[in-house]
Structure 1
Amino acid sequence: MTASSQPRVLSTNIAAPFPCPTGEDRLTGICKQPRAVLEVFIPGPNYGDGPGVRGDVVGDTKHHGGADKAVYAFAREELDYWGKLNGSPYTNGTFGENLTTKGISWSEVVINQRVEIGTALLEVSVPRQPCRTFAEWLGQKGWVKTFTAHGDCGAYLRVVEPGEIRPGDELIFRTPPAHGITMGEAFAAKMGDKELARKVYEAACLPKHHHDQLARLLR
């Protein structure tokens, strides 16, 4: 984990739903707008059980929502990187994140590491997998490949203890699990790197659904 200063929340964001840019007959919650406070809670266990942020919206209920994707965090530093590369400055929440953070590299946090934010206790859970909606929203051809190659997907977080999170709250990381598998490694594994998929699979640190996906990749 690297940080130029104490990691903190820069912006707390909730969806401003609009029609899905892929043309599917549903809304998308990928565009998020800053709010003064997030109330986070433990949603149901499965995709389609909704987000873990009060008032937020999940459009793609087949692949999003549920306890392992309760809250999504992305670094302001990464928004700046992509904004410069794509020639399109990105505001907080543009990548669909509930928490825009400062001073933390999410690719270096360890899977299942816990973090205190505000009055809530969260836990690093699973990687984001870039999709067509993400690409269409940004208007970037080849976006899935480009985003994957860079290697920092942000982080989904599960809620261990509900609470409230506000801009300015510090991120206090607890001792990482002994397996040492980072979010960056889990992301690369999920996106097809078989060497890392073997490493992540053997660590057995991901939820069953994601663990089973790695098993199929390795067959």
Structure 2
Amino acid sequence: MQILSINSGRPETITIGQRVATTGIFKTPIAGQVHVSTQGLVGDTIADTAHHGGIDQAVYLYSAEDYAWWEAKLQRPIPFGTFGENLTLSSFGPQPLRAGDRIAINAVLLEVTFPRIPCSTLAARMSDATFVQQFIQARRPGAYTRVLSTGDLQVNDPVTMEYASPGFPTLTELSDLWHDRDRHPDLLRKGLNAPIAERFKAIFQQWLERGSTPSDSVAHED
């Protein structure tokens, strides 16, 4: 496993339905060495800080294997960075990613915290109003991570996985749980016992206590 692309973005405008917003989703590959801080890639843009970024969503990862799947489905080439990921890895390895998995790259140590929850920004980026539902159904969400150790990265750096407890939920389980209208309490507790992002942990706790439906607490994500 290795880094195939490091992607960064500058603020750009995007039309989402009837509104125009500023976004950092338009990421393109960059050359040379990049520093990773606890807030993410230095120089990258996070436009909507209310819903994106922060220490629990500092670095977003996607894999070349997932890109190949999307290219086959959409019947067109898709450049790395299109999904807004900071790092495109050659693979996520033989096991499904789960909360708590750790990814070591040089001195950098990342910890998986949650899957990507798509919204209308991604649909607008893909110029397809149906893409949110396609992304959910594909069950290839990529991984948000927190930065446990900072450092420098560059393309072709080797990647090592440190797998978490098999008792922690996989990212596909967490994604399904987020979008399901009938959330089983045991699955919510499984998520709460894992090192998921704190903002999602708070929502899971609310759902567990209130038995809420998705419309009650679902936050805007992308």
Common fold: TM-score over 0.5? yes
| CA distance in 1 between partners of 2:157 and 2:181 (Å) | 35
Could you say which residue in structure 1 is the equivalent of 2:161? 173
Secondary structure at the counterpart of residue 115 of structure 2: coil
Does the 8 Å CA contact 1:73/1:155 hold for their aligned counterparts?
A: yes
How far has the Cα of 1:140 moved from its partner?
1.5
Q: Which one of the candidate residues 129, 154, 164 is aligned to 2:152?
A: 164
* Correspondence 1:24-39 to 2 at 5 A: 24-36=19-31, 37-39=33-35
Q: Which one of the candidate residues 64, 68, 71 is aligned to 2:59?
A: 71
| CA distance in 2 between partners of 1:11 and 1:163 (Å) | 17
Does the 8 Å CA contact 2:62/2:143 hold for their aligned counterparts?
A: yes
Q: Which moved more, 1:172-181 or 1:68-77?
A: 172-181
Could you say which residue in structure 2 is the equivalent of 1:13? 7
Secondary structure at the counterpart of residue 88 of structure 1: coil
Structure 2 unaligned segments of length 5 or more: list them: 212-222
Identical-pair percentage: 29
Q: Which moved more, 1:115-124 or 1:83-92?
A: 83-92
Whichever residue aligns with residue 126 of structure 1, its letter is F
Structure 1 unaligned segments of length 5 or more: list them: 1-6, 44-51
| CA distance in 1 between partners of 2:115 and 2:137 (Å) | 14
Q: How many residues align?
A: 205
Q: Is 1:42 aligned to 2:38, yes or no? A: yes
Could you say which residue in structure 2 is the equivalent of 1:139? 127
Does the 8 Å CA contact 2:169/2:190 hold for their aligned counterparts?
A: no
| CA distance in 2 between partners of 1:35 and 1:116 (Å) | 20
Does the 8 Å CA contact 1:112/1:123 hold for their aligned counterparts?
A: yes
- Change in 2 beyond 3 A, CA 1:197/1:170: farther
| CA distance in 1 between partners of 2:71 and 2:8 (Å) | 21
Whichever residue aligns with residue 31 of structure 1, its letter is F
Secondary structure at the counterpart of residue 10 of structure 1: strand
Does the 8 Å CA contact 2:62/2:85 hold for their aligned counterparts?
A: yes
- Change in 2 beyond 3 A, CA 1:153/1:88: same
Whichever residue aligns with residue 32 of structure 1, its letter is K
How far has the Cα of 1:17 moved from its partner?
2.8
| CA distance in 2 between partners of 1:106 and 1:191 (Å) | 25
Could you say which residue in structure 2 is the equivalent of 1:208? 198
Could you say which residue in structure 2 is the equivalent of 1:85? 73
How far has the Cα of 1:178 moved from its partner?
4.7
| CA distance in 1 between partners of 2:181 and 2:138 (Å) | 13
Does the 8 Å CA contact 1:16/1:33 hold for their aligned counterparts?
A: no
Does the 8 Å CA contact 1:77/1:102 hold for their aligned counterparts?
A: yes
| CA distance in 1 between partners of 2:129 and 2:145 (Å) | 28
Secondary structure at the counterpart of residue 103 of structure 1: coil
Q: Which moved more, 1:32-41 or 1:14-23?
A: 14-23
| CA distance in 2 between partners of 1:194 and 1:39 (Å) | 42
Q: Deviations over 1:98-147 (max 9, x none)?
A: 10111226981120121101321111111110010100110123211111
Q: Which one of the candidate residues 91, 96, 118 is aligned to 1:108?
A: 96
| CA distance in 2 between partners of 1:63 and 1:156 (Å) | 13
Root mean square deviation of aligned Cα:
2.2
How far has the Cα of 1:203 moved from its partner?
4.3
